[in-house]
Structure 1
Amino acid sequence: MFNPGARSLRGAGMEFMRGTELGAQPPSDQMLGRPPPPLEVPYTKAKTIIPLPAPEETVLPATDLLTAIEERESIRKYTSEPLTLPEIGFLLWCTQGVRRVVDKTFTLRTVPSAGARHAFETYLLVNRVEGVPPGLYRYLALEHRLAEESRDPGIARQVAAACLDQPHIPGSAVTFLWTAVADRMTWRYGERGYRYLHLDAGHVCQNLYLAALSVGCGVCAIGAFDDAAVNRILGIDGERQFLIYAATVGKKP
């Protein structure tokens, strides 16, 4: 029998599923006629902005989709070879690239998202990228640029520690860190939108796995992390915005 007061993990999961059933919540902000939240978290820090090469200007080896699907696997060990800026731009575009902004209300991107809400922000832990100093950056998807967040020399160690010291994080060329801005999704769907955030995370990471083959890279998705610690490193509150998924990327051995 379902017990909403149960403290077990199974109880918490069932409580979430019951609480987000259709018809179980009040009207969403969209239903109430409230304006939508911004399409992107504003960038206000007076630090480095790095333009990324346009996807159509990046020449990559042709990759058959069936081959990419057949060869998809998680790879945790990488060479010391750095990624290039065009390769990084390509992977960011494949995972969150904006194809069109519609009425300043929603975006059409290279991945699916419930109601085209696209609630994610992409942070990039850079260890080895040609022309980009190591540090933490955020992808400004609307402009296809990288914005510096931190050049703390210990940032890679901090992120690895927050992800339970998984060794492929400091060993990667880059680590993708996807955060969810909850009200971008709940504006339309209410509490049920939290379900869609987790579905969208799978779409994004699968695109990264498939796209990485074109640039000779391997990927390993990461779902194990100390939520409070990694949110603190990223400078987000853990409620309105929180880490939802991560993945390491590096050149295949």
Structure 2
Amino acid sequence: MSATVTELRPGGSDRPVLHIRINGLRLDGRPVLGAMELRVKRGETVALVGPSGIGKTTLLRAVAGLQRGAEGHIDAPARTAMIFQEPTLLPWRTLTDNLRVTTGIDAGAADKLLAEIGLGGRGDAFPGQLSLGQQRRMALARAFATRPELLLMDEPFVSLDPGLVDEMMGLFLRLRAETQATTLFVTHVRDEAARLASRIVTLGGPPATVVDDAPNRAGPKGVGYC
């Protein structure tokens, strides 16, 4: 029986934005996720860390409704956005259209957002004309522009040079401060978790289970955009 992914409706301040209660998930007969329960409260930024191949991305996809087969319940808000490892911009649409078609914002708001992420005046350009770092900025800005209740990010800074990673983390922190979007993200880099997350959840296994769940005592560091 597949997990029931249901929409969480607004409730009290203590009600989690995301509540995962599953007994496991198998892929091709192999147990990938084990039994786990995870709650993410409104306003939290939670990092998912653990060994490569442990099932972090599978869990994220299950939350997004993109991976079936989990046994149990996943309660998530209807307004959930996901940023994948590779930017999923529409290559046949301009940057302005990429922002507007998924968010419903007007052209003026799109131009303002492009300026905020360092792409001012390039609204008529196409994604293929951008560097990978610029495409990642676009994907991040587009996701936040949808005003999601829950933002899912699967290694959004992978394959970027250290300087670009620092720039992207700064942009995330700034947009996150503006929108207060609850966020669950996957990373293999402990420094990213330490800088961005208010809480760090560690998966172990296989199959993947929660082996540690602790607040980030230092808290997210910095909100500037470099």
Q: Tell me the TM-score range normalised by the shorter chain.
A: under 0.3
Q: Which has the higher helix share?
A: 1
TM-score by length of 2: 0.27
TM-score by length of 1: 0.25
Q: Which has the higher strand share?
A: 2
Larger Rg: 1
